[in-house]
Amino acid sequence: MENITEMLKGVLEGCVLEIISRGETYGYEITQQLRELGFTDVVEGTVYTITMRLEKYNLVDIEKKRSTMGPPRKFYTLNAAGQEHLEVFWRKWEFVSSKINELKQNQNEKEQ
């Protein structure tokens, strides 16, 4: 799916939070998981800006670990604030997506 950039704004951070919430992970792996999910054009730089933001707002705990596959990895885990943030995200998503689907549903009412 091409050019979904703008539609991803505001949801990509939540997706990253959700991925982290499933267990310790790091930037490169998060990028790959987003690509596997279907957001194939997401690049490392994008995920990096998000993880930096999560750090900045203290939503994650960080641990640096060596890897046999390349340079050290920065592992993230959600802390309490991050968990809270994730729940708020899903509540917002439920709200917004339900409203948009409502609009979509009414598509056939055009001719009234």
Partner DNA sequence: AATCAGTACTATGTATTACTATATACTTGT
Partner DNA sequence: ACAAGTATATAGTAATACATAGTACTGATT
Q: Which amino acid, residue 53?
A: R
Minimum CB distance to DNA, residue 79 (Å): 17
Check: CB of residue 86 under 8 Å from CB of residue 80: no
Cβ within 8 Å of residue 17, ≥6 positions away: 54, 59, 78, 82, 85, 86, 89
Give the x-and-dash track for 2-41 against a second copy (CB under 8 A). -xxxxxxxxx--xx--xx-xxx-------------xxx--
DSSP string, 44-87: HHHHHHHHHHHHHTT-EEEEEE--SSSS-EEEEEE-HHHHHHHH
**Does the footprint of DNA cover residue 63 (CB under 7 A)?**
no
Which among a second copy, DNA, none contacts residue 85 (Cβ within 5 to 8 A by kind)? none
- With tokens 């689907």, the residue in question is 101
Which among DNA, a second copy, none contacts residue 70 (Cβ within 5 to 8 A by kind)? DNA
Q: Which amino acid, residue 100?
A: I
Region 62-91 residues binding a second copy, contact defined as CB under 8 A = 90-91
Residue 43 or 72 with smaller CB distance to a second copy? 43
Give the x-and-dash track for 16-45 against DNA (CB under 7 A). ----------xxxx---------x-xxxxx
